Amino acid sequence: MAIRAKQNRYNPVADTETILEKIKSRRFAIGIIGMGYVGLPLALSALKSGFRVVGFDIDEKRVALLNRGESGIKHIPSTAIAAALGEGRFQATADLLRLSEPDALLIAVPTPLSKQREPDLTYVENSTRAIARTLRAGQLVVLESTTWPGTTAEVMKPILEASGFKAGQDFFLAFSPEREDPGNASFHTATIPKVVGADDEASLELACALYDALIVKTVPVSTAATAEAVKLTENIFRSVNIALVNELKVIFDRMGINVWEVIDAAKTKPFGFMPFYPGPGLGGHCIPIDPFYLTWKAREYEVATRFIELAGQINTDMPHYVVGRLAEALDQRAGRGLSVAKILVLGLSYKKNIDDTRESPSLKLIELIERRGARTDYHDPYAPEIPMTREHAALAGRKSVSLAPEVISSYDAVVISTDHDVIDWAMIAKHARLVIDTRNVCARNGLHGETIVRA
């Protein structure tokens, strides 16, 4: 990228007091790059706080949907979007040349893993290059996407400074990790404290001031890398503890002990224990992916991350365990091999009551079951069709089957992968020939019987 002519540089140091006043008076425009499960709730919080928002997304169909006032995401209401459109305070666009318009640019794009389980920063790098092409003096740039410690300083900063501007002097750069939990009725974007880190005082001050206007509380930390490490720590904590209870599930099952009963009893202790629950594997945009961002970065420092990698291995193996239990139960209780069976997988999204199928263990379950020769269908009221994914491309386009007693009874087994509240579990238990319950939803609903098997 060509360096801007010296006379176009912002000189002298940006006036932070003027920017702070613009934030306070809501004359500060916010641009959010990535209008998905993270960016859209953030946009709604900014709109509710009185800011003008431009939503950027390279998916033109998604842009058109938003400009019609529709969120396209089950747990995110469309009403606030439609209202903001009517007031002229929100607009979605795929035109990245408009990145110079907002005063702040918040990046909320995917950070997936490559096939070699290494960080793929393509979306972050492309977004940063697009910003650099139109970067103007005084803009605040904040990365929210989860990544390895050092990304903001080592990847983003050089790209942005190639414009001729300097971070902390001509523009401001910070990291503030998203903390979204789709479908959580108790917490949403504005009520979850926000960690903010930057490598210079001005950037930290302005980023905190902006998020103070959007979020219930900001938690400033000393550097961007520290904030990046906070997010990874949160998700690794969950990954390791879920792996622990998944391993306990396998052990206790061999002993004839109900792991869910054990956890429910253990959590009555008022200190020293926090309940985590087993399942068919990990899903979502964070926990299956983020720990590997740290294991990759740790290799640069010649540090082994055995504990984190072991947890990842245990969680990755859980779909195989479920299929093993399915095959065993069919053999013992139905006298029918898995290779000639017809299986219904209940739930495609990675957690209950949402439509997010990213990294869902259900996709892996379907593939593993069919690899054994079985015929497989799925039902999910929130995911009518399997989307295209890099890891499970062969499943794309399959459609959810309807649920009815005669449909359920036509399958040799029903595998419960996602425990949506809207599903009639009593009907499932009554009409299914065999139920493989990976979520303990039957017992939670008081449903027991010889045909119900925990897995």
The whole-number pLDDT of residue 13 equals 53
HSE, CB side, 13 Å, CA atoms: give it for residue 303.
10
Q: Exactly one of 286, 323, 432, 453 is catalytic; which is it?
A: 286
442 tagged catalytic = no
Q: How far apart are CA 42 and CA 178, in angstroms?
A: 9
pLDDT tens sequence across 22-62: 999 999 999 999 999 999 999 999 999 999 999 999 999 99
The whole-number pLDDT of residue 14 equals 58
pLDDT beneath 50, residues of the chain:
1-12
pLDDT tens sequence across 64-95: 999 999 999 998 989 989 999 999 999 999 99
The whole-number pLDDT of residue 11 equals 44
Distances (CA, A) of 103 to 27, 54, 201, 278, 363: 9, 10, 18, 44, 41
Q: How far apart are CA 69 and CA 188, in angstroms?
A: 20
Residue 209: partners with Cβ closer than 8 Å, 6 or more residues away: 20, 23, 24
* Single pTM value for the model: 0.93
The whole-number pLDDT of residue 15 equals 82
The whole-number pLDDT of residue 98 equals 98
The whole-number pLDDT of residue 12 equals 39
Q: How far apart are CA 338 and CA 402, in angstroms?
A: 23
Helix locations, 222-285, DSSP H: 224-255, 259-266
